[in-house]
Structure 1
Amino acid sequence: MVSARINIRWRAVVRHRWRLLAGCLLIALHQACEAVVPIVIGETVDLAVATGSPARLITWIGLLCGLYLLLTTAYRNGARQLMRALAEESHALRLEVAAKVLDPRAEVRTGDVLTISTTDADHASYLLDYVPRIVGALVATAVSAVGLCLISVPLGLVVLIGTPLVLIALQRAAPGITRRVATRQEVAGRASSLATDLVTGLRPLRGIGAQEAADARYREVSDESLRATLAAARTQGVFLAASNSVSTLLAGGIAILAGWFALTGRISPGELITVIGLAAFLTEPFGALSAAPSWIATARASADRIAELLGSTPAPPPTGTPPIRPAAGECLGVVAETDAATIVQLYDDGSPDVLVAPHHPELFSGTIRDNIVLAADHELAEALRASAADDVVRAHPEGLDHSIAERGSALSGGQRQRLALARALLARPKLLVLHDPTTAVDAVTEHAIARGIRDLRHGPGSGLGTLIVTTSPALLAVTDRVVVLRDGRIVATGTHASLAALDPAYRAAVLR
């Protein structure tokens, strides 16, 4: 579900309007000075060199040096303003993307996050560089056209008429480039997501012998990404080749026409030098204006992907109250025949007395100790035993100081579950809600964990409550009572043993 999209490009312009304005003015000044240089050189030839006047030669050379000092200063300060704006915008976009995907209700593929927060954020922010380059190119073209008109009206008209015609023709290719770039980024995101999922689940894949099928699937998506990349590159390459050719031909045509005018005596040697200099100089602004549709198309495609992510509306949290809460000191089992995940979310009310441990454990890069330690050492040892995570610690020579890769990708699913459970047990909340905490461990370990949870949280005099949403007989067997939910309503209650003996639906759901 997508709300009204944010106009990323317009917002970037508004957000950095003063730096962008300063950058545009300074870059425009730089380009105007660049265009004036051939004019000054031509005048130097006609008014100083041709007349043999040392004083005039010194004057015009001094003017040329001042011109170079001005254009260099303008460019350095303009580029500094624009690079600052570009860096701040790309950083701001990455922060917005990160804030969006950190919403626990957001449903975003990992690969999309990677490409959007890196490539797309950069391409979208490059708009702040493209705008002044286009403005500078237009100013350079206008100043050059005026200079050429002062020498020869036909030469000026070639620039004033030819440039818009070329830009209009090239602009027709922009939508195709936008589509190709958007497709490339979308497919690259899918490939990155799949690669991340495969690396994370490498151990289970090996365990079921599915690594060859996974490898084939990744090759398929990778090949699709390659084809999309090559298609986008071909489109952009053809466009750039055409635009460079046209701009070079236009500049070359001006030089050839000027040569003819010089041969027929219509312009002076100094004016010929000016025209040749301007023709050579115009290849740069012509090239920038010709490439502008490709630049804008790329920035637009990336901005649209960012806008789609930022404008997406996460799934609304479940509403209502939890159907049942354990009494103080009670270990309560819940068998949810439907919508178990939704039932678990109802308990996540932000209360400091309630901890909801999700079914999918989240680990971060660091050591085992960094991932679970929240209290003193003796409590840590108890939590490790109760969760059977002490086996994970003993499996590594470094023990608690063993390094864990991001998301625990080097650990098996069962090891990740046990470490996450140890962390939850160590927090000692008044109410701990667990959702299928043992689905990735073997039966022996599962029984040990069930008994460990019971012993750690529900010893004599304990006032702690534990609610376990599961269909595991081992976990349900250690609870004080079990509640069966259907569509959020209680349909049966009793001990695990009594329900297993008297309720056929319960037996079908939990006994395996």
Structure 2
Amino acid sequence: MEFTPGSVMRRSVRRHRRRLAGGVVLLSLHQATEAAVPVVIGIFVDQAVSTGRLESLLWCVLMLFALFAVLSNAWKAGARQVMRAIEYETHQLRLEIARRVLDPRGHRTGLRSGELLLIATSDAEKASLVLRAVALGFAGSTALAVSSVALLLVDVPLGIGVMIGVPLLVLGIQALSPLLTRRTSSQQEAVANTTALATDLVGGLRTLRGIGAQHNAAERYRRSSQETLKATLRAASTNGLQDGVTTALSGLLLAAVAGIAGWFALDGRISIGELITVVGLAQFVAEPVGLLGFSGQVFAMSRASAGRLASVLGSPWGIATGISTTVDPSKPLLALEGVGYKTLSSLDLSLQPGELVGVLCYDPRDADALLTVVAGRAAEHSGRVLVGGAEVEELDIDLVRRSVLVEQHDTDLFEGTLRSNLLAGSGNTARLDRVVAAAAATDVVEAHADGLDHPLADRGRTLSGGQRQRLGLARALLAEPPVLVLHDPSTAVDAVTEELLAEGLAEVRGVATLATLVLTSSPALLGKMHRVLVVSDGVLVAEGRHAELAETDSAYQEAVLR
């Protein structure tokens, strides 16, 4: 589906058309009855006040009572329907953005996390306001139609003048909408940039303080904030201009209609009651004209936000995937054939069931490139990546995720408990104690009185780097994927813990149905591997067991022996 600002807004209307239709009918009824109020008052003056008839007076009072009862309840019920549709649509848009951003295929929006967060919150809310714009637009048009008909019944030339003047007035107001859309869009982009910058600065605050760059960072944020302020003021000035033009032109229209009606009443062309009706309607017309002007402002703001939503929802996928849901169990669980990506050059690699394979990359960039390829985040690479003998591009993304798990060096933990972070939605509690011990994380659990139920702060801030690393490894082991890829899983632990971790990893993963690839320079881990691959300048330069390579290869010795 092709996403554009218009398509996003039209889809919002379609998805809530029933609830929106109910709201439009009720709000239009409210505006119609409000337009009928000066008509009833005019009849009241002509039929009851002028004649002094009690029966007519009672009927007019009953009519006014009924009108106000209808308009009050119609407004409440209609506004409730529209607001419910807006809230549901906001929620749906936020879910769509979150689903798109979190999709394992990735995206190519080029937006930072702070910008994406703003789109998923503020822009989703503003884009859904198109429903309010539609409802208010219909309601205002209904009020103008009823007012014009009533004026035509009072005096045809007067009614025709209003019917011509009001559309011209509305068109004049809407002429500012494109400018408002552009300035609102610029404002939202500036806010998103500043929000993203603030997110980045807060996340790297310790690093900035460590290198003494916090003052430069603050100055950069100040400049970005000033640009956002200027963009906001430009958008606000356009809004204010539109409000001022709407009020001024409505007042001029009211004065013109009231003056002409007074002249007609002096000539005896219309009665006193009809004069009151005309003046009341002319005064009331300012409300629906204002509604149409406000509707235009909301529509412009909604369109700008819808454009930002469309840029995310319609962005191309980061990687291509297929639909096949089967693999050949007799083939290598993971294989790379002639893969070239960034610093990698025609790299071959295979993982058989039951194997633990270590990879030593002399250049860290080779390790990063290999991880990106294996994780399926390389949008374009040469050669082939196969899982169970089938190319990754031909397999269903869910099958790939179940088959290959990449545990990054920087472990992500979430607010909750140790147990909820380890299980990660899985009900596999039988192996929990075993994998915690295999990851040498037993001391992390036993350090707290409530054990696995110990609460964690966001990102595991209350834990040390080594504790977070071991918990991440335990979580990966508990998932028990056919292929587990680890990147430096022991860099933040001491030598004794590292040895325990290496033994536990070999014990848990050393079974016939599983395969493990470990990118590391740790001699403790490499010593537990069935074979070690050495990558230099993007190509495979050596292969063998750790002990053999450590004895015969001087470069290998320099890289791993401590």
User: 2:438, 2:505 within 8 Å by CA — same for their partners in 1?
Assistant: no
Note if 1:219 corresponds to 2:222: yes
What one-letter code is carried by the residue in structure 1 that aligns with 2:505? R
What one-letter code is carried by the residue in structure 2 that aligns with 1:324? S
What one-letter code is carried by the residue in structure 1 that aligns with 2:190? V
Q: CA deviation at 1:157?
A: 3.3
Note if 1:267 corresponds to 2:267: no
Q: CA deviation at 1:303?
A: 1.2
TM-score in terms of structure 2 length:
0.78
What one-letter code is carried by the residue in structure 2 that aligns with 1:76? K
Note if 1:492 corresponds to 2:539: no
Any idea what the Cα deviations from partners look like across 1:132-161, whole Å, max 9, x if unmatched? 211111121122122223333443234212
Q: CA deviation at 1:197?
A: 3.2
Cα distance in structure 2, aligned partners of 1:451 and 1:235: 67
What one-letter code is carried by the residue in structure 1 that aligns with 2:350? I
Note if 1:343 corresponds to 2:398: no
Q: CA deviation at 1:382?
A: 1.6
Cα distance in structure 2, aligned partners of 1:23 and 1:302: 23
Greater shift, 346-355 or 193-202, is seen at 346-355
Pair 1:450–1:77, CA change in 2 (3 A): same
Pair 1:477–1:380, CA change in 2 (3 A): closer
Any idea what the Cα deviations from partners look like across 1:74-95, whole Å, max 9, x if unmatched? 3333333323322222221122
- Counterpart residue number, 2:76: 76
- Counterpart residue number, 1:131: 134
What one-letter code is carried by the residue in structure 2 that aligns with 1:273? I
Pick the aligned partner of 1:364 from 398, 414, 434.
414
Cα distance in structure 2, aligned partners of 1:105 and 1:135: 42
- Counterpart residue number, 1:483: 533
Any idea what the Cα deviations from partners look like across 1:321-355, whole Å, max 9, x if unmatched? 44221562635235346722233326795475754
User: 1:451, 1:478 within 8 Å by CA — same for their partners in 2?
Assistant: no
Any idea what the Cα deviations from partners look like across 1:394-445, whole Å, max 9, x if unmatched? 4x78765553333335656555434312322444556431023356x3xxx2
Cα distance in structure 2, aligned partners of 1:452 and 1:57: 96
Cα distance in structure 2, aligned partners of 1:20 and 1:200: 42
Note if 1:408 corresponds to 2:460: yes
Cα distance in structure 2, aligned partners of 1:116 and 1:466: 39
User: 2:506, 2:528 within 8 Å by CA — same for their partners in 1?
Assistant: no
Cα distance in structure 2, aligned partners of 1:195 and 1:93: 24
Structure 1 stretches lacking a partner, 5+ long: none
Any idea what the Cα deviations from partners look like across 1:10-65, whole Å, max 9, x if unmatched? 11222222222232223222212211110111011012110111112222222222
Cα distance in structure 2, aligned partners of 1:235 and 1:473: 66
Number of equivalenced pairs: 504
Pair 1:237–1:255, CA change in 2 (3 A): same
Cα distance in structure 2, aligned partners of 1:263 and 1:352: 86
**Partner-residue secondary structure (3-state), 2:359:** strand
User: 1:363, 1:406 within 8 Å by CA — same for their partners in 2?
Assistant: yes
Note if 1:316 corresponds to 2:366: no
Pick the aligned partner of 1:249 from 230, 252, 259.
252
Any idea what the Cα deviations from partners look like across 1:195-214, whole Å, max 9, x if unmatched? 33333344444444444444
Any idea what the Cα deviations from partners look like across 1:359-412, whole Å, max 9, x if unmatched? 442211112343225556743652452x6x846974x78765553333335656
Pair 1:410–1:271, CA change in 2 (3 A): farther
- Counterpart residue number, 1:88: 88
- Counterpart residue number, 2:378: none
1:35-434 correspondence to structure 2 within 5 Å? 35-107=35-107, 109-316=112-319, 321-322=335-336, 323-325=349-351, 328=354, 330-335=356-361, 336=366, 339-345=369-375, 350=400, 355-372=405-422, 374-375=429-430, 378-379=433-434, 382-383=437-438, 385=440, 390=443, 394=447, 401-408=453-460, 415-427=467-479, 431-434=483-486
Cα distance in structure 2, aligned partners of 1:55 and 1:244: 41
Pick the aligned partner of 1:453 from 492, 496, 501.
501
Pair 1:215–1:372, CA change in 2 (3 A): farther
* RMSD between aligned residues: 3.5
TM-score in terms of structure 1 length:
0.85
Q: CA deviation at 1:300?
A: 0.6
What one-letter code is carried by the residue in structure 2 that aligns with 1:363? L
**Partner-residue secondary structure (3-state), 1:104:** coil
User: 2:483, 2:516 within 8 Å by CA — same for their partners in 1?
Assistant: yes
Pair 1:360–1:189, CA change in 2 (3 A): farther
- Counterpart residue number, 1:33: 33
Cα distance in structure 1, aligned partners of 2:479 and 2:509: 18
What one-letter code is carried by the residue in structure 2 that aligns with 1:436? D
Cα distance in structure 2, aligned partners of 1:222 and 1:438: 41
Pair 1:377–1:35, CA change in 2 (3 A): closer
What one-letter code is carried by the residue in structure 2 that aligns with 1:57? L
Cα distance in structure 1, aligned partners of 2:102 and 2:358: 31
User: 1:382, 1:456 within 8 Å by CA — same for their partners in 2?
Assistant: yes
Cα distance in structure 1, aligned partners of 2:104 and 2:400: 13
User: 2:28, 2:139 within 8 Å by CA — same for their partners in 1?
Assistant: yes
**Partner-residue secondary structure (3-state), 2:517:** strand
Pair 1:499–1:410, CA change in 2 (3 A): same
Greater shift, 337-346 or 123-132, is seen at 337-346
Pair 1:418–1:313, CA change in 2 (3 A): same
Cα distance in structure 1, aligned partners of 2:419 and 2:9: 45
What one-letter code is carried by the residue in structure 2 that aligns with 1:434? L
What one-letter code is carried by the residue in structure 2 that aligns with 1:481? R
Pair 1:235–1:498, CA change in 2 (3 A): farther
Pair 1:200–1:337, CA change in 2 (3 A): closer
Pair 1:460–1:157, CA change in 2 (3 A): closer
Cα distance in structure 2, aligned partners of 1:403 and 1:192: 29
